[in-house]
Structure formats: structure tokens, C-alpha cells
Amino acid sequence: MYYSDEQIIIDRIKCGPYDNNAYILICKETNESIIIDTPMDPEKLITASLETTPKTILITHNHMDHIYGYSEVLNALKTDSGIGEHDANALPTEPDYKIIDGQIFSIGNLKIKAIHTPGHTPGSTCFLVNKQLFTGDTLFPGGPGKTQTPENFRQIVQSITEKLFTLDDSIQFHPGHGEGSTLSKSLAEFKIFKSKSHDTSLCGDVEWAKS
């Protein structure tokens, strides 16, 4: 068990050579669950999920390291799946639904809100339940996810500042790779970045405190 409170249990399944995280969000009262992302080593995710009642699979974005196990997990759990509407064309099979900004998913007594955060990919989506935020490759401790162009970088910064940093800063966030942090710590790091001038061509792997 990775995290637990009075309403939710969160399991984190670490997968593959890129230190990917898949998450299982479980309603304590009903044992119903939602899976976030389907990386490599899908058998680990399947085994853990079958101890619950899976209701759906949510994909944060369409990069291969996050969807490598998609078909295998989907077939084993016999549930439906969704991904951000602007990333839907890259899944191995057509998703059952396309996620839009602000969409709410209910499992048991839990409500999970989708937050569209483009930049890393056009359809990148974060998911918020209570004070736990699942950021995919949008936000990491120390900086944003990797971007391919300066336009993408400006877009991901806008997503983070307007969609995530406006949330309660005590929220814990859990990225698609590695360890998590809190929004308050991330905002403090971003303020260091914001206090400096930057080349307009900035993109790629950016660290708030060092860039």
C-alpha cells in the first residue's frame, strides 16, 4: 500500500526500465477501483487490480511507456478505458470514451476529476481525488515534464500555473515516474524559475531551480 486515508487506498505499481508508476485508486468502502496508466510489466498491475473491482482505466497521455501494457490490462480486467480527447489517436485500440476537462469519474464514494494539462502532449490529463493529484508527465518534483518545442514549454507552464498551482497547495501530487511531492513545494521551486529571465527558445528537460 502506497497511501491510505479514511476514504481511499492508493497502490503504486512501479513498472519497466523508465521507473514508470501505475496507480490503483481503491474506494475503501466498496473495493471498487480505477487504474491510472498501463506501463510495462502489465502482469504486476493486473495481479494487484484483481484484488479489487476495477471500474475503468484512465490514461494520462499517449506516450508508449505509459500505454505499453494497455491491451493486456484491458483484456485481463474486462473493463473500459479513457484518455484525453486530443491523445486518443495513439492508443492500440479505440478508447471507450474520450476524457474532457473537468469530467468527473465516480467509484464507490470517490469522485475523480480530470484536469486537461496540455504541453507534454496535446491531451495530457491529470486526475484529482480528494487531496491526491496524479500528474502523469505534466509535473514532477523540480520541474515540468519534457517538452519538444518552446511553444510546448510555454503551454505546459501555462497548464501548471493556471490549472495545478491554483489548487490547494497542500495537495500531494504523484507523477508518472519516480517520487511525488506537494504543490506547495513545487510552487516554491517555480517561483525561483519565475524570478529569472529565460531564452525564448527554452524547452526540453527544464528544472525550475536550475534553469
Q: What are the extents of the domains in the chain?
A: 3-194
pLDDT tier at 6 (50, 70, 90 boundaries)? very high
Region 145-160: mean pLDDT is 99
Region 13-34: mean pLDDT is 97
**Which CATH architecture group holds 3-194?**
4-Layer Sandwich (3.60)
Task: Write the CB contacts of 105 (distance below 8 Å, at least 6 apart in sequence).
Answer: 34, 56, 58, 111, 112, 113, 114
Query: Quick check: 1 pLDDT over 90?
Result: no
| Cβ atoms within 10 Å of 3's Cβ, excluding its own | 15
pLDDT, tens digit, 9 for 90 and up, residues 51-63: 999 999 999 999 9
pTM beyond 0.95, yes or no: yes
pLDDT, tens digit, 9 for 90 and up, residues 83-131: 999 999 989 889 999 999 999 999 999 999 999 999 999 999 999 999 9
